[in-house]
Amino acid sequence: MRVFIAIELSEDVKEYLSSIQETAKKHSCGGKFSAKENLHLTVRFIGVASEEMLKRIQKAILEAVKELKPFELQTAGLGVFQRKNKVILWTGVKGNADKLQELYNVMEEHLGLNGFPKEEKDYNPHLTLGREILLNSALGEIERELKLEDRAIIVNKLSLMESCRVNGRLVYRPIFVANFSK
């Protein structure tokens, strides 16, 4: 089973991000846009995990949320990660970046205590809107058309998400959720 740890988004935020995707689609000639129901903020990608590993991940999540207090982030502007002539299109997050980094650090610490190696690259939080996108407009042009807004992302729980295919479609679904206890 392929899994990752995420902050799930409210329907309001997913609707907003979906509207951004619709505008971006008008400025692209191809790519794979994320399904609205799959939009999330990844805290830590794990990969393939056995049943025994899932138990250790759940334990790490429960230990981590005991140390955390709820906080709020906001959606931010658009960005891209360049991959040859294709891009990963994303929107950023802003607000309590220090709290988000603390969440990541606490999660990494507890994953480490439960036998998972530390992530090798720095945490770069973003909300992926699409992969392998072939833009035919400059990013600034898309942003001017959008009228970007700050949308609140309430962070008060962590979810262990499964990534699977259902009828040929990629689906992310929570298999374990832990609320912050403070």
Catalytic status, residue 27: no
Which is catalytic among the residues 14, 40, 44, 86?
40
User: Which tokens is 16 given?
Assistant: 């907003």
Beta bridge partners of 127: 91
| 137 Cβ contact partners less than 8 Å away, ≥ 6 residues apart | 27, 28
| 49 Cβ contact partners less than 8 Å away, ≥ 6 residues apart | 1, 2, 3, 57
Beta bridge partners of 174: 161
Which is catalytic among the residues 27, 126, 131, 157?
126
Question: What positions carry a catalytic annotation?
Answer: 40, 126
